[in-house]
Structure 1
């Protein structure tokens, strides 16, 4: 660091910096303006409620199907990758584990 950065990030030279001081410095150094949302992101965002509803169904739609429906029925031109990154954090039900016939039979016997 040069003299200019020392003026904006004053640190005590007679002791180790505290966690709060280190955190404040890290925030200044790492802080960046948030970029504007792309047109595709805004286009997908306009359908957030619809996407959340499709994902919250008892049998949630797959993202590939959601992308197809958005393109076909709502004229969305955003890419599938944008939709995948946008996917709201809706809790999906866990997938069922495949169980072999042998495991099923031994589970029945154990009852």
Structure 2
């Protein structure tokens, strides 16, 4: 079986942005697209990384700094914030928020429901 590359398997929505963001957050300073590419666990093309970084910049997820003819990128958010924003957006698409939330809680892994209850009790 050949190794998976970017064309043989589809990632879940937002997974590639999460991988790129993780690389940026773990860096001590802004990274070039090549630096990001070198830190990613899965093989991607350079142009894919540039496209993802450009889109993330347009979304306000990363800052972009010009360095000569190239750009360096730094995170403006973290993975937890991005996930929370996605959850809020998904909740906003439902017409019956109570049913959406009820089904979300029903689908949580063991222990997560109790964690959610504790967080809500802490005046989050």
Work out whether the TM-score is over 0.5.
Answer: no
Greater Rg over alpha carbons, structure: 1
Compare relative contact order (CA 8 Å, sep 6+) and give the higher one, 1 or 2: 1
TM-score by length of 1: 0.30
- TM-score normalised over the length of structure 2: 0.27
